[in-house]
Structure 1
């Protein structure tokens, strides 16, 4: 289990507005997608994304793990909670949203396999 930051995501009411703001601020390249957008922060940097969220804007930090099932089990053993997982995909890998033993939200992420 490495624990390195591997992905970030912003949940915002208006993805287009957020995309424009951060692209102008940091020079990020944002590619629009059906429910949000992917963020290219530069070569070798941590990738990110936007998704539409009708609630208050918030950010999500995902930490790299090698075995998501083992990491989920460890979160629970340490008194944390894990939301039901969304299915893994070839493009994005596997994600699990969690809360630590004080209620702080964070995520686990197994990145996708490298493309040839």
Structure 2
């Protein structure tokens, strides 16, 4: 992956994947329980993200083992980002009408986007 087209396609696919995983496929059960460490809902949610990432990583001619390792790493990172945000929001009793909620949501989303940039860096360094 060296062309600007490949880089843009990679990031675009991860944006679509993120939208699907974080907004379309997230249920009330998941959203309600992500702040409870080890609760199955957060694991399922992060697993959905990893499962959606795997075909993208494979598309870019990554070896199966590396793609799987990166997808598993994303699961772990995604889980902990979401858990930390949900826990902080719950600890502070923040609701959607409080500006702090939106600050935490923005930080959460930025952390996920930085994760995708890190995945891109690994993919690009492998292709170099």
Question: TM-score per shorter chain, which class?
Answer: under 0.3
Q: TM-score, normalised by structure 2?
A: 0.22
**More helix by proportion, 1 or 2?**
2
Q: Which has the higher strand share?
A: 1
Higher relative contact order (CA 8 A, sep 6+): 2
